[in-house]
Amino acid sequence: MQKLVLKASEEKCDEINMVDFPGGPKSFEICAKFCYGMIVTLNAYNIVAARCAAEYLEMTEDVDRGNLIFKIEVFLNSSIFRSWKDSIIVLQTTKSLLPSSENLKIVGRCIDSIASTTSVDPANITWSYTYNRKLSAQDEIVDNGMKFREKIESVPKDWWVEDICELDIDLYKRVMTAVKSKGRMDGAVIGEALKTYAIRWLPDSVDALVSDVHSWRNKLLVETIVCLLPSDKGVGCSCSFLLKLLKVAILVGLDDSAKEDLVKRISLKLHEAFVKDLLIPARSPQTTLYDVEMVQSIVNQYMMHEKRSQDLNVEKNKMGCTDFILGHGSLLSVGKLIDGYLEEIACDPNLSVASFIDLSQSIPEFARPVHDGLYKAIAMYLKEHPSLMKAEKKKMCGLMDVKKFTMDASMHAAQNERLPLRVVVQVLFFEQVRAGAGVGSLNNNPLDTSHSTTNTDEEWEKTAAEDCNSLKKQMSQIKIKEDGFQKKGKLSKKNSKSSKSGMKLLPSRSRRIFDKLWVMGKGHAENRSPETSGSSQSPTLMVPGNATKSSGSYSRHGRHSIS
């Protein structure tokens, strides 16, 4: 102040102007009161401003012992930096006092204090550890006059993640970087902290994400979270959170390198995902509803990881059949996931047959032991794309193996008039053989759908339609006779069940029909016309009391994944 007065006198000025005084009038008042020996109250909200003001006024030990700078530093080290909540509050106040607070190393000391406190053993935490939650007091449970052991609510490992969510993005990044650099924090807790911060600040609506007002901030936020993800890509954040982060990254226009990093992380945990997580909205110039190409790239990355894992396992030890299946449980989950995803996107009118087939074939055969999910997806695609060419339908249905259908899927497929006639005949045949002779007989069956033939498609379809209708008529008569036996009460409950099983066997004439159909060979199936396809209400393969229920189940739940 003496220097400022002297300078003003030399300039013959009656006023002293202190430009950009840190903290403004309130911090100056604190310094003035201290000079006059008045009581000064310091707390987490004003101590940074007071410290910067004292530095501006050069209130050092060189001027007077026990000056304001010294006393503030003692208070900071002995109280503020030892308090979790005060350290966070002080760090928040430093933003408005930059660059003074940075030059005085207050920001750095706050960050180090917070990062060190997060590493404390949760069992040793006795303070109120969030603004919204309090550590529960000891509760004594008294029952029938007996005192039980006092119970104390345990503090979770992620006790600190909510508190630092109030920090701005730049300060949050510095705190999390310091926490990770300590090397004592579990990757799962880091992932939970990032998830909590994203939920706190990322808007829910797409319009708010891409709005001009907040788009830059949202993009910076996503970039920050991606760069803070745990270095071990196999742990930390859940697959659902990473996929949501990828959706936002695409919407806000994140650079390709960040999106590629997310894709790699997601591919390591793809078996944990749900169908809804994969429904990533497509962006221009894509014409589909969902970004199928992105999902395809994720699956490709996943299969690359699986192949490397298999190669390593083969080198270490050759696994038996049982170990092989148990070791590939994640692949089975991914198979169900992809089938469910295909069913969801099948309704998209702009989804090409090639994209559907490529995604379906991106997983190996053993990842899809049951083809019910794939059948539901193909049935949905055929329903939503009625203008498909015969060749395209043939390619689509070629993805399915009717021997891997369950009874419900077989019954539904037998009545699905959108399927090519050859597929329906295959379903009828294999279901009857499986019901009569067991699944094992299929592997030894001499009939093969791949035999060559010189007949034309038209001749095959005409013959197949006539014989298939004849077969359905015979099976219908068998069912009527079976119902007649039940009504007359001539069969006991046990015999009735045996009769139902027996009625599924094909009569010898029907077997001759299938012999004639199957030797005609590969590549000659066509779509059935309404005149030759048979009614969707055909009693073929219907078991009394169950057929209607099964058919209705597919019609009502046709868009739900079986995963």
pLDDT of residue 355: 94
> Which two three-digit tokens encode residue 220?
């910076």
Spell out the long-range contacts of 429-435 with Cβ–Cβ below 8 A and sequence spacing 24 or more. Answer: 429/506, 429/514, 429/517, 429/518, 430/402, 430/403, 430/405, 431/402, 431/405, 431/407, 431/504, 431/541, 432/504, 432/505, 432/506, 432/510, 432/541, 433/506, 434/403, 435/501, 435/504, 435/505
414 touches 406 (CB < 8 A): no
The Cα–Cα gap between 119 and 185 comes to: 7
SS3 for 534? coil
The Cα–Cα gap between 71 and 56 comes to: 16
For residue range 71-87, list pLDDT tens digits in order.
Answer: 999 999 999 999 999 99
Strand partners, 281: 290
Task: Per residue of the chain (563 residues), give pLDDT as tens.
Answer: 778 888 877 877 777 777 788 999 999 999 999 999 999 999 999 999 999 999 999 998 888 888 999 999 999 999 999 999 999 999 999 999 999 999 999 999 999 999 999 988 887 776 555 544 444 333 333 444 444 334 345 778 888 999 999 999 999 999 999 999 988 888 889 999 999 999 999 887 777 777 777 788 889 999 999 999 987 766 678 899 999 999 999 988 888 899 999 999 999 999 999 999 999 988 888 889 999 999 999 999 999 988 887 766 666 565 554 444 444 678 899 999 999 999 999 999 999 999 999 999 999 988 999 999 999 999 999 999 998 899 999 999 999 998 899 889 988 988 888 888 888 888 888 877 877 765 444 444 444 443 433 344 454 455 555 555 554 554 454 444 444 444 444 434 444 444 444 344 443 434 444 454 444 443 344 444 333 333 333 333 333 334 333 333 334 344 333 33
For residue range 209-267, list pLDDT tens digits in order.
Answer: 777 777 888 899 999 999 999 877 666 788 999 999 999 999 888 888 999 999 999 99
The Cα–Cα gap between 536 and 539 comes to: 9
The one-letter amino acid at 89 = I
Place of tokens 């080290």: 77
Residue 185: exposure state from Cβ atoms within 10 A (0-12, 13-18, ≥19): buried
Is the CA virtual torsion 485, 486, 489, 492 positive or negative? positive
pLDDT of residue 489: 45
SS3 for 24? helix
> Which two three-digit tokens encode residue 147?
């005192």
Strand partners, 420: 527
Helix (H) or strand (E) holding 142: strand 142-143
pTM: 0.70
Domain coordinates in residue numbering, the chain: 1-118, 157-268, 275-310+327-399
411 touches 551 (CB < 8 A): yes
CB crowding 295-312: b at 16 or more within 10 Å, else e = bebbbebbbeebeeeeee
- Determine if residue 12 is left, alpha or beta; phi over 0 gives left, psi from -120 to 50 gives alpha, anything else beta: left
pLDDT of residue 168: 93
pLDDT of residue 525: 41
The one-letter amino acid at 159 = W
